[in-house]
Amino acid sequence: MASIPYPGLELKLFEQAHNWKSYWSSRIAPYVRGAVLEVGAGIGANTRLLASLDFARWTCLEPDASLAKQIHLPPGGRHEVTLGIVADLPAEAQFDSILYIDVLEHIEDDAAEMARAAARLKPGGALIVLSPAHPFLFTPFDEAIGHYRRYTRTSLRQAAPVGLREITVTYLDSVGMLASLGNRLLLGQSMPTAQQIGVWDRWMVPPSRLTDRLTGGHLGKSVLGVWSR
């Protein structure tokens, strides 16, 4: 299978967003189990982040060979790296959890992609998607890193495969949404700085844990969807 190049300009920057990663990972942890497929594993930052969860085996699926080579697998022998995309996997490859963490927005035909993932989901398994939210927040940064879209809860639901049961579709990071709106209206940067990422992660993500509950998941700069077979 051929390698699909991806610029990956943002991967090192967001690797340091520890509060944000701790927040969203805590929201998906209950659904990660058994045989796990991480689609678009990148440089393995999320692989390492989630390595302490209770699962049997973990497949890092990455279409860019240069990024796949940078994945340093956690110890324990439960992880493997596979070069390719979901369509390259054999039909018999089945999983209990399939993750798209900031990946689905990079795929042009998202509905077809989710259908392919659903076909590889075991009964009782979970399809988990975390993506940037709100088309009105689309910036040169989104364009620079290859985003086709940002999602609303409605548009993410529309891309979900028929036959899966929705567990949740909710927005995350309501306070951080203000920073994204400011960048959209005032800065229009093609790439945030490390300092900006640090300010957002340190001062906006922690209060979002509270305000997201107060708003009932109706506001946020990211959207999280979980479906079960």
The residue ranges of every structural domain in the chain are: 11-228
Tell how many helices (H) and how many strands (E) occur in the chain.
Answer: 10, 7
pLDDT at residue 192 greater than cutoff 80 = no
Q: CA 93 to CA 70: how far, in whole Å?
A: 24
pLDDT of residue 186: 46
pLDDT at residue 126 greater than cutoff 80 = yes
Question: Which amino acid appears at position 187 of this protein?
Answer: L
The answer to pTM > 0.85 is yes
CATH code of the domain made up of 11-228:
3.40.50.150
Quickly count: other Cβ atoms within 10 Å of residue 186's Cβ.
8
> How much is the mean pLDDT over the chain?
90
| Pairing relationship of beta strands 121-132 and 95-101 according to DSSP bridges | parallel
Q: CA 70 to CA 51: how far, in whole Å?
A: 17
